[in-house]
């Protein structure tokens, strides 16, 4: 697999393997093309998801381009660097007898104001999110005059346990600067998407999972 010289940086929390990158324009162009095709195919995906988002559509990765060049290589890096997190039940002999490869599913979300994803986790080895379009400003969202109190409107959040066993929340404010950013994380890491308000434009994001595709090396 090739990573097309994509540079990844680790970000907090320090005891959970998380990586992020700003995708180059040509990858973003490819993803926008896939989104337009997903609209044309119009295959609903929301009934497989935990969220309260009215429109999520299945996306297809042509010739495994995104799998082989972006998410596959970075997942291999995460698994190799953190085997206890990503492959805790695999004995060393498994790697000798079996080819451990990945398969992927991915979908695009069209989030409208007041829609949200509650705290949830995914199935798989790693999961990812790519923020394609963010029509809101976090400072404005956090200071809206709403009938209820919230300082997290429009935020993305990870839920995790620190090294002392304490529950922690890491929030990522959603701003225009986050467009094109991709975050990769363990599929079992719980996370959520807060609703935004007073904006008629959609927020567009891509999500996906990498799952183990295990084959015996002795089989043809």
What is the structure's pLDDT at 4? 75
What is the structure's pLDDT at 184? 95
Model confidence pLDDT, tens digit, residues 105-143:
999 999 999 999 999 999 888 999 999 999 999 999 999
pLDDT at 94 over 70: no
The rounded mean pLDDT for the chain is 89
pLDDT at 89 over 60: no
Q: Is 201 helix (H, G, I), strand (E, B) or coil?
A: coil
Q: How confident is the model at residue 95 (pLDDT cuts 50, 70, 90)?
A: low
HEC string of 52-104 equals: ECCEEEEECCHHHHHHHHHHHHHHHHHHHHCHHHHCCCCCHHHHHHEEEEEEE
**Residues near 46 by beta carbon (within 8 Å), at least 6 away in sequence:** 53, 54, 55, 56
With 0.75 as the threshold, say if the pTM is over it. Answer: yes
Model confidence pLDDT, tens digit, residues 1-45:
666 788 899 887 777 889 999 999 999 999 999 999 999 999 999
Dump the DSSP string for 33-62: HHHHHHHHH--B-GGGSSSB-SEEEEE--G
Determine the average pLDDT of the residues in 158-183: 93
Q: What percentage of the chain carries pLDDT values higher than 90?
A: 63
Residue range 9-214 forms a domain whose CATH class is: mainly beta
Measured between alpha carbons, how far apart are the two ends of the chain, in Å?
21
Domain extent listing, the chain: 9-214
In angstroms, rounded to a whole number, what is the distance separating the alpha carbons of residues 43 and 101? 26
Q: Is 182 helix (H, G, I), strand (E, B) or coil?
A: strand
In angstroms, rounded to a whole number, what is the distance separating the alpha carbons of residues 125 and 211? 5
């Amino acid at each position: 697999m090739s990573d097309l010289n994509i540079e990844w940086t680790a970000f907090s929390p320090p005891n959970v393997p998380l990586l992020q990158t700003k995708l180059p324009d040509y990858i973003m162009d490819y993803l926008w093309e896939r989104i337009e095709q997903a609209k044309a195919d119009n295959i609903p995906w929301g009934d497989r998801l935990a969220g309260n988002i009215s429109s999520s559509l299945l996306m297809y990765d042509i010739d495994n381009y995104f799998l082989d060049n972006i998410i596959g290589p970075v997942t291999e890096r995460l698994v190799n660097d953190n085997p206890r997190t990503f492959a805790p039940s695999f004995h060393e002999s498994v790697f000798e007898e079996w080819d451990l490869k990945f398969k992927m599913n991915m979908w695009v979300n069209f989030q409208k104001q007041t829609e949200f994803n509650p705290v949830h986790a995914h199935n798989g080895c790693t999961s990812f999110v790519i923020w394609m379009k963010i029509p809101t400003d976090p400072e404005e969202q956090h200071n809206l005059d709403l009938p209820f109190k919230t300082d997290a409107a429009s935020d993305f959040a990870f839920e995790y346990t620190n090294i002392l066993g304490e529950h922690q929340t890491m929030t990522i404010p959603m701003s225009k600067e986050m467009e094109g950013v991709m975050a990769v994380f363990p599929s079992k890491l719980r996370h959520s998407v807060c609703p935004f308000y007073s904006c008629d434009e959609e927020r567009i994001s891509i999500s996906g999972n990498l799952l183990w595709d295990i084959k015996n090396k002795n089989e043809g």
